[in-house]
Amino acid sequence: MRSLFISIEGIDGSGGSTQAELLTEWLRNKQVNPVLLTQEPSSGPVGKFIRQVLTDQGEEGRLGDTVLPYLFAADRRDHLDREIIPMLQQGGLVISDRYLHSSLAYQSLAIGLPAVANLNAEFRQPDLILYLDLDPETCLQRIIARGDRLERFEAIDRLRRIRDAYSTVIVLGHTQGQNIVSIDASQSIDGVHADVRAAVDELEQSQNQSPPTA
């Protein structure tokens, strides 16, 4: 398989982290290419700061939602330069638990989709975007069941608005030729994983049928 960049998207509680881990394990077992599992917010300095903001820890929690789009864009630039692009240049595969489309959905609630799109216009698009679609009520139940401290966006009204925003973002992405696959995340973990694998296999087959780009 050639170098490949896959992002996994969905509202909080839809199972993205679990599916990112399962996909990474599956790819590592079947591929000779190195596979990087990463996430956004990233593990870099800006990403760590964002996580403090999202959990409302200390002074950072006072930052308003209109600041977040700029922080996420800065983190994404660092994430690309520090982890994603170097791995792809080595011929590796990158699986990111959230990436660009999370910003387009989440941060569009604060400053509008056009403004968020402009902030992120120069960033590399994934080769495959896997969107895990699940109703907000089930997502919130899962979040509460985890027992973790709720983050800024983990409230039912916000989850509903973010899911609607994702729908808009996906329609727009399809019109722009982005490779977005929506997956029913109400299935069992294994069922969702099977659909994820099928989407990746389809992409691999299309890669094999097309000549390498210069």
Q: What domains, with CATH codes, occur in the chain?
A: 4-209 (3.40.50.300)
Q: What is the pLDDT of residues 81-135, one digit of tens each?
A: 999 999 999 999 999 999 999 999 999 999 999 999 999 999 999 999 999 999 9
Closest CA to 173 of 102, 110, 119, 112: 102
Q: How far is CA 200 from the centre of its chain?
A: 15
What integer is the mean pLDDT of 13-22?
A: 97
Indicate the pLDDT class of residue 61, thresholds 50, 70 and 90.
low
Q: What is the residue type of 106?
A: Y
**What is the gyration radius of the CA atoms in the chain, in angstroms?**
17
The number of beta carbons lying within 10 Å of the beta carbon of residue 151 is 14
Sequence-distant (6+) residues with CB within 8 A of 147 are: none
The average pLDDT across 47-63 equals 77
**pTM: predicted TM-score of the whole model, two decimal places:** 0.92
pLDDT band for 214, please (50, 70, 90 cuts). very low
Say what percent of the chain tops pLDDT 90. 80
pLDDT reported for residue 138: 96
pLDDT band at 173 (very low <50, low <70, confident <90, very high): very high
Round the average pLDDT of the chain to a whole number and report it. Answer: 92
Instruction: Output the pLDDT for position 44.
Output: 97
pLDDT at 146: 87
**Token digits for 133?**
């679609």
Determine contact, residues 178/125, Cβ cutoff 8 Å: yes
